[in-house]
Structure 1
Amino acid sequence: MPDLQSGERLRCTHCDHILVSVHAYAPRRILSIGISCLLMLVLAISFPFLSFATNGVERSVTLIDTLTVLLGQGYLILGAVISLALFVFPLVYLGSILFLVWSFHHSNVLDNARRYCVRWLLVVQPWLMVDVFLVGILVALVKVNGLADITLGLSFWAFCGYVVLLLKTVTLVDKRWLWHQVAGAAMNHAVDKGNAQSQGLIGCHFCGAVLSNDHRHCQRCGHSIYTRRPRSLSTTLALLIAALVMYIPANVFPIMQTTFLGNTEPSTIMGGVFLLWSLESYPVALVILVASVVIPLAKIASLSWLIWQCYFPSRHLTKQKVKLYRLTELVGRWSMIDVFVVAILTSMVQMGNLMAIYPGPAVLSFTSVIILTMLAAMSFDPRLLWDKDRQANDLYNKGAKRER
């Protein structure tokens, strides 16, 4: 890989995927935006987040109440999921990247500490869901808009700034550029046209270094390396089956229970979609339908089809299959919208028998569906598609020669 200048990108000529992106003034921008992001988070938890008023009864909640109400009512697993998505993972990510940028100018910092920070940063990044939580807030406000008067507090606007700044920080961090800064440039190997695996080389999927295939651990980042992810297809298939099993109770049982004037009414995922549609909130109803129904089923179907293609490849372009995989991996976390909506409404609407909202038994089932499908996408190795593509082309070429 050549040395890139500021603002340049390196794109794979085989699949058009961006391998490295070097942003202009990246360390300075990451440092300033990351610190600003932490400041916005402090402001987001310091002031009232939302105010809820109905029939002369008012209630004001903070961002921390989203977590404490769930834990106080005994919803420990749901509270843990919310705390990880909103506070723990973002703080780990921001703390790691700010420490790494600071360490660029302090050579006495232990290399092992920097390597562990990079690992934590890359592991946590797919689970950052603050932008999904923000959309969940907007959906929750639409649901209760006709039942009460909603006032947005100062912390809500600080939280919006926190989301924007965190997303900007993530876009500035490139995995391979970061490893280059922490561990130096990887050793270059001459690769002829064709498959690098057949030439005795192996690529580290964690930092991008290329090594000879007799290595078991990357000399650059210390991560385990392998030509193809071990038991990729069987692990992905097992996770998809588990997700499909959990998808049944997630849609059969109520995901939310609403108490109004002493009467409790359960609501399923599709029931919430129909309710929003009857209230003429068509865009929000479509968002819930796509995020909570279409995306989980589409992920299960697309990953199952990709597994099938690894065994029985068709003549479809492999590049399109890989793009389908990347899209599947990208959109999976947006299914968490419904889970966040339930958590927000539970913390906001707690007024005794007058009006109260509680999570239903389907919340944990649906959360497990999302986590299982995300893990399934992570365990799938798209390089297997290229292997089958080469095998299919070899068989096709042999058959064409025989016909001649």
Structure 2
Amino acid sequence: MSKTRFYETVTACDECDHLHVIPPLKSGERFKCGRCQHVVLSVHEHVEGRILGTVFSALLMLSLALVFPFLGFSSRGVERSSTLLGSVDVLIGQDYLILGSIVCLALFIFPAIYLFSLLVLFWSFKHPDISLNARRHLTRWVVAIQPWLMVDVFLVGALVALVKMRSLADIELGLSFWAFCGYVVLLIRTVTLVDRRWLWNKMSGAAPNHVIEDKQHPDELKTAKLHSLIGCHFCGAVSPNSHSHCSRCGHSIHSRRPHSLTASIAFLIAAVIMFVPANVFPIMQTTFLGGSEPSTIMGGVFLLWSLGSYPVALVIFLASVVIPLTKILSLSWLCWQCYYPTEHDILKKVWLYRVTEVIGRWSMIDVFVVALLAGVVQMGNLISILPGQAVLSFAAVVILTMLSAVMFDPRLLWDKEDEIMQASKGDDK
């Protein structure tokens, strides 16, 4: 019989603020919100050992990916190979400091902080003399960095870059490439195993209990706000609304994210402004046999299509054109719904928000393609690739839309839905 692995009392759903009394959960069980179907908590089987195994393996694969050559290519008898760190060094050496920093953060720094934080955190579970404050900081790093891990996006970008390079030179995949593939798989697996509520529960124990029974309406769904409680977005604990910081993790708490719509709209406006130069100016400059040719995002799509690389052209078109536009329009419509709600099903609005939040980072594919090509393909007038003016503008579009989604508080949609329901009940009376 499976051992109970999670003890918690009351928690609030991150997306709709609905309060739940979580029953004791066993390994392999999940708990979903009864109101919006958001997965509140997942408890995986043998989770401690599996996380430690994937973390150690991911760090080993990362070490191998940094040591050996990543790609080798030859053109007209001239050969060249490059490592991942060497590619970043080339970008920085050519004064593309921001682009090199973005690649370095996404591939090495953020994942390394994430993995080492987990290692130290699990080690501290066996050594209770480690200060609680230090463990809190480590857990916050794990929670905060997780949405910005983009190694899987870079791998897809590398595959697209290989297709583009095949038309210019002969390509050879180095040992680092295969190690990097393993690193990506293991890091993704680690992320899927780490549940932040389980992690905080493991570190600090169960959250403080609260009685949420409504004797007048025992079957009616209630939110934390209506019970004068606040659900912590970092650890899932529930605190009285008189508190400004979570009693378990110490993070600042708010019933609704302050200035959520204002910040989300501001980031969206900035993204729209940056979207114009991102598509007007060249994103890449290719030199081949002394001739130089600039390429815009759509120009790259048309080139891949003309070369017969239809799947890759479609991927670039979706990631670089369709997804950013869709995300901007979707978030704009969701912000509008918080002011002037329509009769659309609330669950469809929430589903749109979830999809928008998940797909946004995949627009970084084109940025990583340009960064990898510029870091590897450097052979003077014979063949070389340089980033264009649009690459930083496009990276800004992706980051700004991601920040807009982060700042948007989906609980505001449910607040409007509750207002509409209350108004309709009043009209019926």
Q: TM above 0.5, one fold?
A: yes
1:246-261 matched pairs, under 5 angstroms: 246-261=274-289
Structure 2: how far apart are the matches of 1:211 and 1:170? 27
> Aligned residue for 1:101?
122
Match of 2:410 in 1: 382
The equivalent of 1:276 in structure 2 is 304
Structure 1 stretch displaced more, 200-209 or 356-365: 200-209
How many Å separate the matches in 2 of 1:291 and 1:36? Answer: 30
Corresponding residue for residue 81 of structure 2: 60
Deviation, 1:266, is 0.3
TM-score by length of 2: 0.92
Q: What is the one-letter code of the residue matched to 2:412? A: L
Instruction: Say if 2:292 is the partner of 1:264.
Output: yes
How far apart are 1:187 and its partner, in Å?
1.4
Between the aligned partners of 1:381 and 1:53, the Cα distance in structure 2 is: 51
> What SS does structure 2 have at the residue aligned with 1:266?
strand
Match of 1:151 in 2: 172
AA in 2 matched with 1:5: K
1:330 equivalent in alignment to 2:351: no
CA distance in 2, matches of 1:145, 1:96: 39
Q: Deviations over 1:209-258 (max 9, x none)?
A: 11111111111000111110000001000000000000000000000000
Tell me the equivalent position of 2:380.
352
1:356-375 pair list within 5 angstroms: 356-375=384-403
Give secondary structure in 2 for the equivalent of 1:45: helix
Cα distance in structure 1, aligned partners of 2:316 and 2:188: 22
Higher deviation after alignment, 312-321 or 186-195: 186-195
Q: CA RMSD in A?
A: 0.9
The equivalent position to 1:177 in structure 2, one of 190, 194, 198, is: 198
Q: Distance in 2 between matches of 1:41 and 1:106?
A: 27
Aligned AA (1:297): L
**Which amino acid is the alignment partner of residue 149 of structure 2?**
L
The 5 Å alignment of 1:47-196 reads 47-191=68-212, 192=214, 193=220, 194-196=222-224
* Amino acid aligned to 1:326: R
CA distance in 1, matches of 2:426, 2:325: 39
Question: For residues 319 and 221 of structure 1, what CA distance do their matches in structure 2 show?
Answer: 30
Alignment-derived partner of residue 201 in structure 1 = 229
Matches within 5 A, 1:291-330: 291-330=319-358
Q: Which moved more, 1:144-153 or 1:264-273?
A: 144-153
Taking the aligned partners of 1:201 and 1:47, their CA distance within structure 2 comes to 53
SS at 1:64 equivalent? helix
Partner in structure 1 of residue 252 of structure 2: 224
Aligned equivalents of 2:355 and 2:305: distance in 1? 28
**Counterpart amino acid of 2:147?**
P
Alpha-carbon distance between aligned partners in 1 of 2:252 and 2:128, rounded to the nearest angstrom: 26
Does structure 2 conserve the Cα–Cα contact (< 8 Å) formed by 1:30 and 1:98? no
Distance 2:25 2:208 in 1: 15
Q: How far apart are 1:27 and its partner, in Å?
A: 0.8
Q: How many angstroms does 1:34 deviate by? A: 0.4
What percentage of residue pairs aligned between the two structures are identical? 64
Gaps of 5+ in 2: 1-21, 215-219
Cα distance in structure 2, aligned partners of 1:114 and 1:320: 38
Equivalent residue number for residue 18 of structure 1: 39
Deviation digits for residues 40-67 of structure 1, max 9, x if unmatched? 0111111111111011011111111121
**Aligned-residue offset at 1:188:** 2.1
